A and B are shown apart, each in its own frame.
Chain A
Amino acid sequence: MKGVLAAVVLIAAFAVACDRGAGGGPGITVVIAEYSKDHTRGFWQALAEQYTKQGGPKVDLRIIDWNSIDQQVTTMIQNNQPPDVLNLNSFSSYARDGLLYPAEDVLSPNTREDFLEAFARGGQYQGKLYGLPILSSARAFFYNRDLFAKAGLEAPPKTWNDFVQHAKKLQALGGGVIGYAMPLGPEEAQAEWAIWMWNGGGDWKQADAWAINSDANVRTLTFLADLANRQRVTQVNPGKTNRTDGAFQLFKDGKVGMVIGFSPLAKQLDAEGKVKYGVAEMPTTLGKPTTLGVEDYLMAFKKKDNRDAVKKFLDLYYQPDNITKWITAEGFLPVTKSGLERMRSNAALAPYLDALPNARLAPTTDPAWDRVKLDVQQNIGAAVQPGGNPKGVLDQLQRNAVAAAGAR
Chain B
Amino acid sequence: MRAEAPAPARAVKGRRWEALLWLGPSLALIAGVVFYPAVALVHASLGRYSITGVYQGSVGADNYVRLLQQPALSTVLTNTVVWVGAVVAVTVVVSLALAQLLNQPFPGRALVRWALIVPWAASLIMTSKLFVWIYDYYFGALNRLLTSAGVLARPVDWLGDDATVMGAMIAVGIFVSLPFTTYVVLAGLASIPGEVYEAARVDGASRWATYRRLTLPLLKPALLVAVVLNVIYVFNSFPIVWTLNDRNPGFAHDTMVTFMYKIAFKSALRDVGLAAALGVVNVLLILVAVLAYLRTVRWDDGEAAASGRA
Tell me the A residues contacting B by CB distance below 8 Å: 1, 4-5, 7-8, 11, 70-71, 73-78, 93-94, 97, 99, 176, 185-187, 189, 235-237, 239-242, 245-246, 250, 253, 255, 367, 370-372, 374-375, 377-382, 400, 404, 408
Contact = CB atoms under 8 A, between A and B. Distances in A.
Interface in B106-144: 132, 137-139
B265 interface: yes
Given A99-B52, A241-B160, A380-B249, 13 more contacts: A5-B21, A74-B52, A74-B264, A93-B50, A186-B246, A237-B161, A240-B248, A245-B132, A250-B138, A367-B51, A374-B266, A375-B267, A381-B248
Interface of B: 18, 21-22, 24-25, 28, 44, 49-56, 132, 137-139, 157, 159-161, 246-250, 261-262, 264-268, 270, 272
CB-based closest 8 A-B pairs:
A375-B268, A77-B53, A237-B160, A74-B53, A381-B249, A78-B53, A240-B160, A71-B265
A372 B51 contact: no
Contacts of B250: 378-379, 382
Contact of B249 (A176, A185, A236, A404): A185
Main SS class of interface, B: loop
A235 to B, nearest CB: 8
B51 A408 contact: yes
A70 B50 contact: no
Contact of B52 (A77, A176, A255): A77
Given A78-B55, A236-B160, A378 B247 contact: no
15 contacts: A8-B25, A71-B264, A74-B52, A78-B44, A93-B51, A185-B247, A235-B137, A236-B160, A240-B159, A240-B160, A253-B139, A370-B270, A371-B51, A375-B268, A378-B266
A374 B25 contact: no
Contacts of B56: 408
A15 to B, nearest CB: 9
A374 B270 contact: yes
B76 to A, nearest CB: 14
A78 B267 contact: no
B52 A371 contact: no
A186 B53 contact: no
Contacts of B270: 370-371, 374
A188 to B, nearest CB: 12
Contacts of A379: 249-250
A253 B138 CA distance: 10
B42 to A, nearest CB: 15
A99 B51 CA distance: 12
A255 B136 CA distance: 15
